[in-house]
Structure 1
Amino acid sequence: MALLVLGLLIWVGAHIFKRVAPEQRAAMGDTGKLIVTVALVISIGLMIWGYRGAAFIHVWSPPSFMVHINNLLMLVALFVFGMSATTGRLRGKMRHPQLVSVKIWAVAHLLVNGDLASIILFGGLLAWAVLEVIIINRAEPVWNRPQPGEAKKDVLLVVITLVSFVVIAAIHAWLGVWPFPG
């Protein structure tokens, strides 16, 4: 559990460092980018290692129908995440699509996982995403909304979302976590 918490703390620190100390971060130049990247990779490794190695401590039992809600929310999360890269009509509909996606992803996983390690991991990342949006919005209150592009790019986003969902479901199955009710 300690590795999981350490990974979360490094993740939050590496992301928020740029926001709370922008001058110091800018002064570090490319070296700073490398340090943050290495810290994020280490944090992901620690979160995975800590989560997989954590003892199962039961907190609550999610009802079985939550799996359906989780899967629907995961499709939405992937779609919203993709909105950050789309050049279609949906571009600019949401200010923080990646962070909103993390929030949806975290809530979806909290709905189907009732153990302490899951609550720490997904709840911690949910709290980070909320905090990050607040910090960004305070630092940059004005948002210049990008102009929408072509609708056919949104169709591509739907296709990429569906393919991504299948790949992620396959990875979960490969790891021994069957993501569909049976």
Structure 2
Amino acid sequence: MGYILLILGIALFAGGHWVKRLVPEKRAAWGDKGKGVLALAMLAGIVLMVVGYRSADVVNLWFPPAFMTHIANLLVLIGFWFFALSSINGTMAAKVRHKQLTGVKAWAVAHLLVNGDLASVILFGGMLAWAVVSVILINRANRSWDRPANVSVKNDAIAFGVGLVLYGIVAAIHTWLGYYPFPA
């Protein structure tokens, strides 16, 4: 049952995000009420992903080498930096159009590197696929992009600091949940 919930959760989360891109006329006709319905569907998707992932039977596909943890931690930190860059206009923000989706891709790849079980492949592979398809859909719908103005290296450093703090908070939560993210 866990795998079914996990897949359904990914489908709800992705579908809720893609409605605006795939059927924009219908989405516009729904108005503000439609935004609420889609937000609830995406929230339900997240809940189903968590419940499904935690309840899925463990099926090991491979056993990642321990050194992958270092690479994964670096990728997760980069992912949080890109998330921060979506609000803080550093020089990197002017080079990467989809900063949050880039952050999700880095996060997903990181987790795929260190988790060799089927539930992880479905969850993190599904989120990676969602981010890749989202970039394609957004670019197809709107080819032009206005690069952020007033960018600075100082803002890159500030965004990195914000990303580092977020990384520390999430690492603490992982540790609290029993998933120690740092190798011995």
TM over 0.5: yes
Preserved contact between residue 90 and residue 148 of structure 1 (Cα < 8 Å): no
Tell me the distance in 1 between the aligned counterparts of 2:32 and 2:134: 22
Tell me the distance in 2 between the aligned counterparts of 1:143 and 1:156: 24
Q: Would you say how many aligned residue pairs link Structure 1 and Structure 2?
A: 182
Partner in structure 2 of residue 23 of structure 1: 25
Preserved contact between residue 5 and residue 47 of structure 1 (Cα < 8 Å): yes
- The answer to whether residue 75 in structure 2 is matched with residue 73 in structure 1 is yes
Residue identity in the other structure for 1:123: G
Partner in structure 2 of residue 4 of structure 1: 6
For each residue in 1:148-179, what CA deviation from the matched residue of structure 2 results, as whole angstroms up to 9, or x when unmatched? 33443333212111111110000000111000
Partner in structure 2 of residue 41 of structure 1: 43
Moved more, 72-81 or 108-117: 72-81
Partner in structure 1 of residue 126 of structure 2: 124
- Cα deviation for residue 73 of structure 1 reads 0.6
Partner in structure 2 of residue 176 of structure 1: 178
Query: What is the alpha-carbon root mean square deviation over aligned residues?
Result: 1.2
Report the identity percentage.
51
Tell me the distance in 2 between the aligned counterparts of 1:91 and 1:104: 16
Which ranges of structure 2 fall in alignment gaps of 5 or more residues?
A: none
Q: Could you tell me which of 112, 117, 125 is aligned with 1:110?
A: 112
Tell me the distance in 1 between the aligned counterparts of 2:151 and 2:139: 25
Preserved contact between residue 93 and residue 99 of structure 2 (Cα < 8 Å): no
- Cα deviation for residue 14 of structure 1 reads 0.4
Tell me the distance in 1 between the aligned counterparts of 2:20 and 2:34: 10
Preserved contact between residue 59 and residue 118 of structure 2 (Cα < 8 Å): yes
Preserved contact between residue 91 and residue 148 of structure 1 (Cα < 8 Å): no
Moved more, 47-56 or 24-33: 24-33
Residue identity in the other structure for 1:4: L
